[in-house]
Amino acid sequence: MLSGPSGVGKTTVVRELRRRHRHVWVSVSVTTRHPRPGERDGIDYWFVSPQRFSEMASRGELLEWAEFAGNSYGTPLAPVLEHLAAGVPVLLEIEIEGARQVRARMPDALLVFLRPPSWDELVRRLTGRGTESPEVVAARLDRARVELAAEAEFDVALENSAVGSVCDRLLALMGSSHSSDRKAT
């Protein structure tokens, strides 16, 4: 499981890992937010209505879920369990609150925290997206300060200063976690 503050580069790392290592299954989250330019339903996220999301959560269909920046995000449980049962390495890209829920439901999961090289770099990444209003960016930065303090709750922390090396370290961790009977990364 890979987590860290918004803007740290989780999606970039996951895309590169997926490109390099197709045998790793990356969970596709559901969200109530609208797609960003270039995002595709079922590939980047499953885009659902708030009502559908609420139904999924109430029926226990989500491994974890959280609200972030006014939208809900969650990980469908069934596909995670199916891939784990088949022995496929599983990677979840989730927020801090979701990581806490995964830890509670799957104590053997390997939790990896992705941190930025510096606070200034995190600010640059978030403001450089150009996909959100200044108010949303400010809210993400406020939350990032709190999320950075959660690093100690994770099994491993990786600094995202070079995407390729983060992918290599993450893959090595997944190999070691898989061989020691951990359930998900």
Is residue 33 in a domain? yes
Residues 70-95, mean pLDDT to the nearest whole number: 94
Domain span at residue 33 reads 2-179
DSSP states of 38-85: T--BTTTBEE--HHHHHHHHHTT-EEEEEEETTEEEEEEHHHHHHHHH
Residue 20 dihedral angles phi and psi, to the nearest 5° = -80, -35
Is residue 168 in a domain? yes
Lowest mean pLDDT among 58-67, 154-163, 169-178: 169-178
Distance in angstroms (rounded) separating the CA atoms of residues 53 and 149: 29
Residue 130 has pLDDT above 90, yes or no: no
What's the predicted TM-score (pTM) here?
Answer: 0.83
Name the band, by pLDDT with cuts 50, 70 and 90, for residue 184.
low
Residue 83 has pLDDT above 90, yes or no: yes
Is residue 81 in a domain? yes
Residues 39-47, mean pLDDT to the nearest whole number: 94
Contact call for residues 25 and 90 (beta carbons, < 8 A): yes
Give me the CATH number covering residue 135.
3.40.50.300
* Residue of 5, 9, 10 lying closest to 144 (CA atoms): 5
Per-residue pLDDT, 108:
92
Is residue 184 in a domain? no
Residues 144-149, mean pLDDT to the nearest whole number: 93
Write out pLDDT tens, residues 100-120. 999 999 999 999 999 999 999
Name the band, by pLDDT with cuts 50, 70 and 90, for residue 181.
very low
Per-residue pLDDT, 125:
85
Question: Which range, 121-125, 133-137, 154-158, is most confident?
Answer: 154-158
- Tally of domains in the chain: 1
Contact call for residues 105 and 90 (beta carbons, < 8 A): no
- To the nearest whole number, what is the mean pLDDT of the chain? 90
